[in-house]
Amino acid sequence: TQSTRPQRLLSAVQKNATRGDPCSVVKAIDQFCRSKEWAMNVGDEKGCILDSVVSEVNPTTVLELGTYCGYSTVRIANLLPPHAKLITLEFNPDFAAIARQVIAWSGLEEKVQLVEGASGDLIPKMKEDFGVKTFDLVFLDHWKDRYLPDTKLMEACGLLRKGSILLADNVICPGTPDYLEYVRSSPRYESQYFKSHLEYTKVEDGLEKSVFLG
């Protein structure tokens, strides 16, 4: 049977990256996506912006929406302080299975809790079932039409505190117009656009960083 792109991406990691070395896992995926097959990872250029925001926030609790193959999961987890936790949500079981192996290869399983399911169902369970108070950082990278409803859901569930940071991928390409309008016009957010390029291409894209003001 034909392999899938995530399976081929995982094989490239197992072949080219060193077990327990997160940076080599990130490099192996970027090399695979540049030289073999494009895949919708945040990538190296936007990944550097992600890294700088994670380092600046130095979060204890992080939520990632849309694990896919675990590329940004590994990038974020690699920068977390000891005892910090990253919860990442993925509803496609095949992608989740690949991501678990990518995360395991990087040696960062201790810092990552991958939960299979839809964000709309899981966000309301974060406090009770996952012992979360509030998130210091949320990375949005799932279906683009879910960014706004899930942000409103996180607000409603009391998962954001004064100073919580939302970092959203693809606000230009493929684009998240309703989300962008909301965080840029709402008095409850202070937003900043980081201009970049769509992963592995010259097409414009960027990340929007929004601070929840409470």
Ligand X SMILES: Nc1ncnc2c1ncn2[C@@H]1O[C@H](/C=C/CNC(=O)c2cc([N+](=O)[O-])cc(O)c2O)[C@@H](O)[C@H]1O
What residues make contact with Mg ion under the rule CB under 5 A? 141, 169-170
Decide if 144 contacts 175 (C-beta within 8 A): yes
**What amino acid positions are annotated as catalytic residues?**
141, 144, 169-170, 199
119 binds ligand X (CB under 6 A): yes
- Residue 67 phi/psi, 5-degree rounding, is -75, -40
Q: Least Å distance between CB 40 and Mg ion?
A: 5
44 binds ligand X (CB under 6 A): no
Among 32, 91, 189, 200, binds ligand X (CB under 6 A): 91
What distance in Å separates the CA atoms of residue 51 and residue 68, rounded to the nearest whole number?
18
| Sheet containing 61-65: order of strands | 112-116, 85-90, 61-65, 135-140, 160-168, 204-212, 189-197
When the beta carbons of 21 and 116 are compared against ligand X, the nearer one is 116
9 binds ligand X (CB under 6 A): no
Q: Which does 84 bind (CB under 5 to 8 A by kind): ligand X, Mg ion, none?
A: none
Query: Which residue's beta carbon is nearest to the bound ligand X?
Result: 66
Q: Which stretch binds ligand X (CB under 6 A): 72-80, 84-92, 102-110, 180-188?
A: 84-92
Q: Which stretch binds ligand X (CB under 6 A): 89-97, 101-109, 129-137, 152-160?
A: 89-97
Q: For residue 75, which of 90, 91, 89, 86 has the smallest C-alpha distance?
A: 86
Q: Which stretch binds ligand X (CB under 6 A): 9-17, 116-124, 152-160, 186-194?
A: 116-124
97 binds ligand X (CB under 6 A): no
Among 118, 132, 153, 157, binds ligand X (CB under 6 A): 118
Q: Least Å distance between CB 42 and Mg ion?
A: 5
